[in-house]
Amino acid sequence: MTDRKAVLEGLRDDLIERLERYRAHKEQRDGPLDKDMEEQAIELQNDEVVDALEREAEAELRHVMHAMARIEAGEGETCAVCEASIAPERLAALPFATLCRHCAEPR
């Protein structure tokens, strides 16, 4: 479990760095759009991509933080729904998993 915690801490740190870069980009772009219509379209499209990446990183960070809290509570390898053990292979592939494969499958 210590290895998984270290992996999660690394993921957390990487995600925080990514979020800082996305937010810095947004602050830098707070000025007016380019006068050229084609450039405006490109700038707006870039902004939309950065916004989507930021939302994705925020969601992943929430998952990572939730998994870390479960580890601290001694529940890190137990499914949050059915309380069965989460397969080590699943945890290796998806370190922030909090559900067993069965409970994670869409119904």
Q: What is the DSSP string of 25-80?
A: HHHHTTSPPPSSHHHHHHHHHHHHHHHHHHHHHHHHHHHHHHHHHHHHTT-TTB-T
pLDDT given at position 54: 94
Question: 84 in a domain, yes or no?
Answer: no
Question: 6 in a domain, yes or no?
Answer: yes
pLDDT given at position 8: 96
What pTM, to 2 d.p., does this model score? 0.80
> With bands split at pLDDT 50, 70 and 90, how would you rate the model's confidence at 34?
low
Question: 107 in a domain, yes or no?
Answer: no
Question: 92 in a domain, yes or no?
Answer: no
**pLDDT greater at residue 106 or residue 55:** 55
Instruction: Evaluate if residue 1 carries a pLDDT over 60.
Output: no
Question: 12 in a domain, yes or no?
Answer: yes
Domain carrying residue 14: 2-77
How many whole angstroms from its chain centre is CA 86?
Answer: 20
Distance in angstroms (rounded) separating the CA atoms of residues 48 and 14: 21
Cβ neighbour number for residue 97 with a 10 Å cutoff: 21
For residues 15-19, average pLDDT: 96
Look at the chain and report how many structural domains it folds into: 1
For residues 29-37, average pLDDT: 67
Question: 98 in a domain, yes or no?
Answer: no
Question: 88 in a domain, yes or no?
Answer: no
pLDDT tens digit string along 35-85? 777 777 777 787 888 889 999 999 999 999 999 999 999 999 999 999 999
